[in-house]
Amino acid sequence: MTTTPSPSSPNRLVADAGTSSASFAIHSTRGVHDTVITEASLPNTATNGRSNTESETEDGNDALPTPEQIAAGDEVKVNDEHGKSFRFGDLRKGRKTILLFVRHQHCGICLSYLTSLNSHPAFKKLAKATAYADGPRAETAPDTQVIIISQGAWSGLKRYRDFSGPIEDATGKQNTNPFPIYASTDANLFTAYGVTRHTLAKGTKQDAAPEVRGINMFSIVLKSLKETLGSGRGILNGGSYSRLGADFIIDKDDKPIFAHRMRSTRDHTASERLAELAGLEA
């Protein structure tokens, strides 16, 4: 089944600079999903319908997803770290969702970005509330949730969580990422939301989110190498090394609040900006 959303909405919100990744190898292995969405069937919202070699300041990067795109995304199947399959709409519905698309699973800058985001006071507070709600009193679940979507095989997600959690100030220990991460192995969910730009360009320093702007790139490369080489067979199953990510906020009534599709590998949205737009309190 091929789902073809209509052209992107002209509405947009302007995002701050963001973050994401280093680069090394090839592409992910492919899986099979119930819904197949081809990039050819969608408008290239990352570049306003133009080639990726043109200006990196196209408004299309921040075009809000259309109702058709959101509906198409809801039908895509994603997998958790145990391989269990979920219809994405069932994960998203009923709560305001901060939706983060990350690059390949071995990306040092993406890992550093998520580590910083998880250390932000507003996201730490949300993570604590979310963890509490997952216990005996699930009815206390917060109105806002964070969902992280990765490329690549679901088998690499547990390792990705271990490398992307917050770091304790006192001990320097890195904890597990408290927010759920799902794999869209064929990147069908990326495609549904118009996250189709491929590049290895890192962009300017101003493109990077404040959390990673000052990080030494050599340390990022070392982190990427450590994760990549330590992943064993997962080295070739972590997703496309050239596909960029994106950041969205979708309200519980399916209304898109914010959209930013990355223009370069260091162009995620600052966590402070996401917290502000989502109405999170520290």
Of 161, 248, 244, give the one whose Cα is nearest residue 207. Answer: 244
The residue-averaged pLDDT of 188-193 equals 96
Specify whether the CB–CB gap between 171 and 236 falls below 8 A: no
Query: What's the confidence (pLDDT) of residue 45?
Result: 38
Looking at the DSSP bridge assignments, the partners of residue 145 are 97
Residue 45 has a CB neighbour count (10 Å cut-off) of: 30
The residue-averaged pLDDT of 220-243 equals 62
Query: What's the confidence (pLDDT) of residue 60?
Result: 73
Query: What's the confidence (pLDDT) of residue 44?
Result: 40
For 14, the 3-state DSSP assignment is: coil
Query: What's the confidence (pLDDT) of residue 55?
Result: 34
Q: Is the pTM of this model over 0.85?
A: no
The residue-averaged pLDDT of 32-52 equals 37
Q: Is residue 192 packed enough to be buried (19+ CB in 10 Å), middle (13-18) or exposed (0-12)?
A: buried
Query: What's the confidence (pLDDT) of residue 224?
Result: 52
Q: Is residue 245 packed enough to be buried (19+ CB in 10 Å), middle (13-18) or exposed (0-12)?
A: buried
Of 267, 270, 277, give the one whose Cα is nearest residue 96. Answer: 277
List the CATH code of the domain at 39-278.
Answer: 3.40.30.10
Question: Phi and psi for 78 in degrees, rounded to 5?
Answer: -125, 165
pLDDT higher than threshold 90 for residue 30? no
Residue spans per domain, the chain: 39-278
Q: What is the pLDDT of residues 4-18, one digit of tens each?
A: 443 333 333 333 333
| Least confident stretch, 51-65, 121-135, 187-201 | 51-65
Q: What is the pLDDT of residues 47-97, one digit of tens each?
A: 333 233 333 334 578 999 999 999 999 999 999 999 999 999 999 988 999
Query: Over the chain, what is the mean pLDDT?
Result: 74
Alpha-carbon dihedral sign for residues 4, 77, 61, 30: negative
Query: What's the confidence (pLDDT) of residue 20?
Result: 34
Percent residues over pLDDT 90 in the chain: 41
The residue-averaged pLDDT of 35-45 equals 40
Which amino acid makes up residue 83? G
Residue of 115 and 209 predicted with greater confidence: 115
Q: What is the dihedral of CA 163, 168, 169, 171, to 10 degrees?
A: -100
Query: What's the confidence (pLDDT) of residue 258?
Result: 97
